Structure 1
Amino acid sequence: MSVLLAGGGTAGHIEPALAVADALAADPSVVITALGTERGLETTLVPARGYELRLVPAVPLPRKPSRDLVTLPTRMRASIRATRAVMAERSVDVVVGFGGYVALPAYLAARRRVPIVVHEANARAGLANRIGSRFAAAVAAAVPGTGLPHAQVVGNPVRRSLSQLDRPALRGQARETFGLDPDAPTLLVFGGSQGARRINEAVAGAAAELTAAGIGVLHAYGRKNDPPSVAGADGGSGTGARYVAVPYLDRMDLAYAAADLVLARSGAITVAEIDAVGLPAVYVPLPHGNGEQRLNAQRQLDVGAAVAVADEDLTAAMVLEQVLPVLGDPDRLAERTAAARRMAAAPAADALVALIRSVVDRAAGTAS
């Protein structure tokens, strides 16, 4: 089976594709090719995970009248031609799309040639997946209510290092790796791969009081941001708890293993990872778009595994209000953690692989 994975631009499109690639790769007879563009994060993320990446021209869809709209058909045709060349070279049996710039040309290139499987990571489907779902052989979604017809809800695929993570077994190693107190309840903070300024400022402002209360903080502030300026949060209060700031987390498995509570944005992949590892969370949904970030977290909010704070309400005082009562009370932390663990779903990547195989088998049966 030769599979072409189309999902690029942002980590929200790429990470589910890579999680599915890892699950497919368990069968050494499967040939995996990733499709991307030179402007997306896939140029670094895909090769780093050991998969072949083939680049085609990017075709962003203009949101308002412009010169780009006039040239759209020509650019789209060029990208479709390039995609079909890859499909022919790799003898592709199925195209699996995850949205983003590269997905729509892939769907159009595959139409009436090979079957298409669409996966939607967000609570509300993007334009590429809305179009691709119209002629897909199968449609999968992370959550109900995406607006895609006949979508099977399978969850969001996450990498196996997270879906199979044993947090208690790794906790000691994880906290030692980051220089955290091995015994302090620990807050993990991040705002996505680029960080989030409002989260950074609020957490930096609360850091001294958190560590004084015996709470450790592991804060990924983003490579494009300056390190937060924090005074009095070095464990000098005698608690041993430390505030540790890093620009980026290369080992999310260790970061999650070190944590007892997460404060983060609620992008689809972040929510899926936190769901998979069974951690309680404080979400600060990005206030842009059509409100999908809050919807991404709704299931966790409904069962008490998480709470949501509006971006405009996030201050240092709000961080303390949301974190101290949980990490400072073992019983309350245990209750929130139990709710989070009950939410942990079966690995979505395996469900999506089964769906892909069924589509390919069905297509092969029809052809014969």
Structure 2
Amino acid sequence: MTEQDFIPKAYTELISNGKTSWKSPSNIALVKYWGKRKGQIPANPSISFTLDNCKTTTSLTFSKLTEPNSNFSFDIFLEGNKKDHFKPKIATFFERIYKYLPFLSEYHFTIETSNSFPHSSGIASSASGMSALALCLIEVEKQLNPEMGDEFFARKASFLSRLGSGSASRSIEGPLVQWGEHASIQGSSDLVGIKYPYQVHEVFRTYCDSILLVDKGQKQVSSTVGHDLMHNHPFAEQRFEQAHENLSKLKVIFAEGDLREFIKIVESEALTLHAMMMTSHPYFILMKPNTLEIINRIWAFREQSKTHVCFTLDAGANVHVLYPESEKTEIDQFIKNELVAYCENGQYICDQIGLGAKKA
């Protein structure tokens, strides 16, 4: 598979206007993607649980222009409010994908988007938002080229999503999606996310994720800046090698349902991500005191209860509490009794594994 595979031939249909809508979820990486090369190519492979409740709904209304506009013509609304300050990011995305969707210059687009989770809550809205927009655009292309098959539709949606936000490539399908070339995962690619192709034990098909909102403020460092800090990082090569090794280990863990080994890898990956930020130049500490308190309480509760609760983190202070559905009642009570006090305004989100994006 190469980039050339996604450059369309002449379209067979003519369409003057229309509207399409998609809902796309966020995801939480188990093996973290941190560091990238030119063209949104990951420096290491990653794998994630696709979420279900935390999603973005995007509607795309389009109408044919009297003549093509090389600067692209669009308006964007979030929760019903016009957001002109989002336009540069969308314009950059359109520029990146233009050769793969040449009709972009021929229409005016109205992008209306909303999230099922609170704004600035630390959920990966770039993953859900960019994948939802990419799906809407691919839906337009499918109308221009009705011969497009479902498999290619999903693959191209992941390919385009990646060019908006790397992790968005993992939001198209579910419940487990792997992105980035890996020697022992057949079909893996730096260009697209793929549904994990091997055996997965039943316990991992219904996992829960409660997201504790420790700090809802703006990120201390953007993901783009964070990824760039991996260039010339003193431990970058060791980190990239570790990600490959952990993915190989997960292959056995997923097949056998080994929760103890799963916990070791997931928590280690989360702490390694933050270690990379603490040892970069410049360096950042993204965890807050309440993040550490939550982690320590999870460890203590797991030891005392003999449950399989664990945590993971994105590049921020909020904590994703992961646990099997069979232990949901006990762990939900633990969260309410001990962890909610460390959340900003007591806010947290209950979610679980989902199957990917759907037409709205």
Fold in common (TM above 0.5): no
Q: Which has the larger radius of gyration?
A: 1
Q: In proportion to residue count, which structure has more strand?
A: 2
TM-score normalised to structure 2 length = 0.26
